[in-house]
Amino acid sequence: MPLVRIDVPQAMPQATRRAVADGVHAALVEAIKIPADDRFQIVTAHAADALIADPGYLGIARGPGFLTVQIWLRRGRSVELKRALYAAIARNLSRDAGVRPEDALIVLAENDPADWSFGNGIAQYAPG
């Protein structure tokens, strides 16, 4: 846990997609201390007309490399840790995948231990 969904432009090369996924995971390990082997990601490429983002919302100049990172994780991290995570993701994607920080939309969705089953139809984090 967490579960990460990354939506990228179809024009993004496969190696860059992998660098994006690796950069997001490295940021999760670094910033919020998830275990390194706790990696569950879905990376989906979309046609240019299927990733829609306002090019100037909140004064941020987005371009054709716009992508989204959605992260589902357990509730309870501080605002400071979340800010550190956003910064680490933006830094990693810029450095390792050439993604402009302006083009990375990151959303966290928090939930509770009973909201996870990692297999076998069991809520491993909420035994009982």
Indicate which residues carry an active-site annotation.
2
Q: How does pLDDT run across 101-110, given as a tens digit for each residue? A: 999 999 999 9
Domain 3-115 has CATH 3.30.429.10: yes
**Per residue in 54-93, is it b (16+ CB within 10 Å) or e — as a string?**
eeeeeeeebeebbbbbbbbbeeebeeeebebbbebbbebb
| pLDDT (0 to 100) of residue 128 | 77
pLDDT in tens, 28-59: 999 999 999 999 999 999 998 999 999 999 99
pTM greater than the 0.85 cutoff: yes
